[in-house]
Amino acid sequence: MGFILNIDLETSSGPTEQAYVRIDNYRFNKVTSEVLITTTTWLDYKRAQEFNREYLEDDLKNAEGLIGSKIIYYKDKDDEGQEINIPNQFRIKVAELQEVSIPKYEDREVIKSKPYISFDDNGDEITKYKDVIENEKVIISESTETKNKVNNELISNLFEFTYGALKVELGKMFPINKIIKK
């Protein structure tokens, strides 16, 4: 699986309007909550498929049609082209944006009634109260902040997660409607 880029490109391996980007490797790092995706970009889908081995015992093939990361992207026929770097690696956070309420505290002196045991004139035990001044943290206001909440459930299907994330990253460089799943 991968994505065909239906766009006009000039590459290190020649021109193409059917570049193919696929994931060759991904690794999940639980400590950083990131997935590291390693990709390759090819002149077309056919050349990417021809590079794959059918059996592990098969010899490795030449990577004919493999494209370097620097390409020139033409938005239309009249465009002079824009140099773009398609990275070989992407770091994707395994998190969701979440609004979080952040309280702001202040130390204040608070008078509290503390019970203590005493004795009355007859010698009977009674409970009395004494006011005591204590320092207490009190919420004085709250603000809302957007944070990245770690969510390992997102990668329950790592294959789907990584290709979804790759499409988002490619969509930052090229029109999303020109990125076709293949």
* Residue 88 and residue 171 in one domain: yes
Tokens at 97, concatenated: 């944006």
* Residue 66 and residue 134 in one domain: no
Distance CA 97, CA 92 (A): 13
According to DSSP, the residues that pair with 20 across neighbouring strands are 4, 42
- Say how many domains are in the chain: 2
* Residue 84 and residue 170 in one domain: yes
- Per-residue pLDDT at 5: 97
* Residue 67 and residue 157 in one domain: yes
Distance CA 75, CA 82 (A): 8
Question: What is the mean pLDDT of each successive set of 10 residues along the chain, which is 182 residues long?
Answer: 96 95 94 95 96 93 94 92 95 94 91 90 90 89 94 89 96 97 92
Question: Which whole-number Å values give the CA distances from 118 to 3, 72, 113, 114, 121, in the listed order?
Answer: 81, 88, 15, 13, 10
* Residue 50 and residue 130 in one domain: no
* Residue 75 and residue 114 in one domain: no
* Residue 164 and residue 77 in one domain: yes
* Residue 19 and residue 62 in one domain: yes
* Residue 85 and residue 110 in one domain: no
* Residue 48 and residue 78 in one domain: yes
- Per-residue pLDDT at 168: 96
In terms of residue numbers, what domain contains 111? 101-142
- Per-residue pLDDT at 75: 92
* Residue 17 and residue 105 in one domain: no
* Residue 88 and residue 106 in one domain: no
DSSP label of 176: G
